[in-house]
Amino acid sequence: MPKVTREHSITATRKAAMESPIKKEKKNTKEKDNTVYGEILPADEKQLIDLIQAFPKGISSVLALQHLDGWSINDLVTVGNSLSKKDLIEIRSSSSGAGNNVLTFVAVSEEEVHKLRSMDANEKIIYGYIKEAGSKGIWQKDLKIKSGIHQKQVLASLKALEKRKIIKTVKSIKNSIKRVYMLYELAPSDEVTGGTFYQDNELDVEFIEILSHAIYRKILKDSMPTEEDQLLPANYPYYPTVSSLSNFLNNSDLFRSGVSLDNDDVQGLLDRLVYDGKIERRLRTSIASNSIDDDDDTWMYKAVNTSKSSETTLTCTPCGQCPIFKMCSDLGEVNPSSCEYFSKWLEF
């Protein structure tokens, strides 16, 4: 390669740096050398990247210009571009209120850089979209539409990324055929797995039943006056609330280890009991509370004395439970005169 001798040119320094690699490998500190993550950089890029790394949350272009004396906006843009091509920084643009597009430079972490170095162009794009989807994950078809890459290539890239354990697939609760891609290290969000009550992609019905029963018994105990025929006064303020029940459940040992319920889960169980007609809600009027943490609750829950059986007379008759009720008429095979269910019922 012909030597270019321009003393202060950027390329010369770069070439010079590249020609003496041995020295660089020995010293691996970032501050003294021009290396970032094992790669050799020219001085101006090094300067910019040091500055950006000093601001972990990112530095806007305006602020960068203030720190770097003598740099014009063009210099900043060129150097920034070359750094971004090497995947050392990310450039994000956001528009401020005045309508100017502000560029923010964010440094990319070391593992990321290694990952990105190992991908080709397609994979990089796909990786970008998957990262954007975060813990919700993204469907393969959506990826194809967004990136515009051909189906086969998308598939190939996904396979490659999965092999390298950069991304993983998670089965979605809502649609069991749909497989969703997300970053390897992220835990799938509640939407995908379903939340606390889901176990192995299925609603854990027994678990919910046990919990509801426990809550109901606790509320029942707390709603009873000391004697049979008495009533608790109307503005009795000590009925259980969501927080108190949540504490109660978490302190009992009804659970598998490691599972705890938050207030939303308990609220869901309470709503379920309300719709069953077993408990009812009352507004909390007085400020009196059992412990500090149920100040925020607006509702308290009281057990209801329902009638012992929910059998209506309609369902006592054979017609009430008859599966072919709609077909029953005088003109057809199924009629009240010769109804077998009737005969059995009358024989009791």
Which residues contribute to the site for another protein (CB under 8 A)?
Answer: 174, 197, 202-203, 205, 208, 225-238, 268-269, 271-272, 275-277, 280, 282, 286, 288, 304-307, 310-317, 319-321, 325, 328, 330, 336-337, 339, 342, 345-346, 348
Residue 242 C-beta: closest distance to another protein, Å:
16
Helices 43-54 and 10-19 cross at an angle (nearest 10°) of 90
What residues pair up with 35 in beta bridges, in sequence order?
40
Cα gap 17→20, rounded to integer Å: 6
In the bound state with another protein, the residue whose beta carbon lies nearer, of 42 and 240, is 240
In the bound state with another protein, the residue whose beta carbon lies nearer, of 22 and 346, is 346
Residue 259 C-beta: closest distance to another protein, Å:
16
What residues pair up with 179 in beta bridges, in sequence order?
171
Closest CA to 72 of 64, 83, 82, 60: 64
Cα gap 33→201, rounded to integer Å: 52
Long-range contacts of 286-289 (CB under 8 A, 24+ apart): 286/235, 286/237, 288/237, 288/238, 289/237, 289/241
Residue 340 C-beta: closest distance to another protein, Å:
12
Residue 251 C-beta: closest distance to another protein, Å:
22
In the bound state with another protein, the residue whose beta carbon lies nearer, of 250 and 290, is 290
Assigned token pair, 125 = 């794009």
Cα gap 125→116, rounded to integer Å: 10
CA angle 307, 313, 316 (to 5 degrees): 105
Q: Please list, residue by residue across 82-120, b when 16 or more beta carbons sit within 10 angstroms of its beta carbon and e when fewer do.
A: bbeebbbbbeeeeeeeeeeeebbbebbeeebbebbeebe
Residue 264 C-beta: closest distance to another protein, Å:
11
Residue 133 C-beta: closest distance to another protein, Å:
20
Q: What single-letter amino acid sits at 278?
A: K
In the bound state with another protein, the residue whose beta carbon lies nearer, of 155 and 319, is 319
In the bound state with another protein, the residue whose beta carbon lies nearer, of 10 and 334, is 334
Q: Determine contact, residues 294/239, Cβ cutoff 8 Å.
A: no
In the bound state with another protein, the residue whose beta carbon lies nearer, of 34 and 241, is 241
SS3 60: strand
In the bound state with another protein, the residue whose beta carbon lies nearer, of 100 and 310, is 310
Residue 307 C-beta: closest distance to another protein, Å:
5
In the bound state with another protein, the residue whose beta carbon lies nearer, of 123 and 297, is 297
Residue 304 C-beta: closest distance to another protein, Å:
7
Cα gap 62→85, rounded to integer Å: 21
